[in-house]
C-alpha cells in the first residue's frame, strides 16, 4: 500500500485522518488513537522500510523522544513496526502553527515575541542536552 493511501486506514491502532507533512525519511499524518487521542503519526517512507540504517535512525529518534520531558517538546507516545511491516512513531499532537509559516505570515516579529520564542526553544534544547541528546534538525519548519 502506497503511503498516500494510508489516509482513512488504521495503522497499529491509529486511525489515519490526513497527511500534514513530509520530510526526507518519513511522512507525517494526523491520526486518532483510543488511548492517546489525536497524535502526529510519523511513518517511515516505503523505500526505506528495508534499509537497516534508516530504520535504526528512525527507531533511535523515537527512543530519544521518549527520554525527554519538557513543556516545549512533544513526547513520543508509541513507536514500532505495524502488522503491515511499516515503521511508525506516534508523538503528541502540537496544535498551533509552524514557526516558519507564522513568521512569514506575520512579517517582522516584535523583539519581545522573538525573545519569548527563543527562550522556549532554548529551554527545550537544554532539556534535550540534559539527557545527552543533540537535535540535528533544528529549524523553523520543525518548531510549532
Whether the CB-CB separation of 31 and 11 falls below 8 Å is answered with yes
Main-chain dihedrals φ then ψ at residue 80, nearest 5 degrees: 155, -155
| Sign (positive or negative) of CA dihedral 45, 51, 57, 61 | positive
| 32 is known as an active-site residue | no
Residue ranges of alpha helices (H) inside 2-51 are: none
CA angle 106, 124, 135 (to 5 degrees): 95
User: What is the C-alpha separation between 58 and 76, in angstroms, rounded?
Assistant: 12
| Numbers of helices and strands, H then E, in the chain | 3, 6
Q: Which residues are marked as active site? A: 137
Amino acid at each position: 500500500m502506497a503511503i498516500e493511501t494510508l489516509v482513512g486506514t488504521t495503522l497499529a491502532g491509529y486511525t489515519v485522518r490526513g497527511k500534514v507533512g513530509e520530510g526526507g525519511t518519513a511522512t507525517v499524518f494526523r491520526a486518532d488513537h483510543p488511548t492517546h487521542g489525536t497524535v502526529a503519526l510519523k511513518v517511515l517512507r516505503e523505500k526505506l522500510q528495508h534499509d537497516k540504517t534508516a530504520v535504526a535512525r528512525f527507531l533511535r529518534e523515537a527512543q530519544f523522544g521518549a527520554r525527554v520531558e519538557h513543556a516545549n517538546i512533544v513526547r513520543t507516545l508509541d513507536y514500532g513496526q505495524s502488522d503491515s511491516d511499516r515503521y511508525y512513531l506516534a508523538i503528541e499532537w502540537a496544535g498551533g502553527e509552524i514557526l516558519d509559516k507564522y513568521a512569514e505570515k506575520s512579517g517582522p516579529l516584535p523583539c519581545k515575541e522573538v525573545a519569548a520564542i527563543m527562550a522556549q526553544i532554548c529551554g527545550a534544547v537544554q532539556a534535550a542536552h540534559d539527557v545527552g541528546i543533540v537535535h540535528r534538525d533544528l529549524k523553523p519548519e520543525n518548531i510549532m
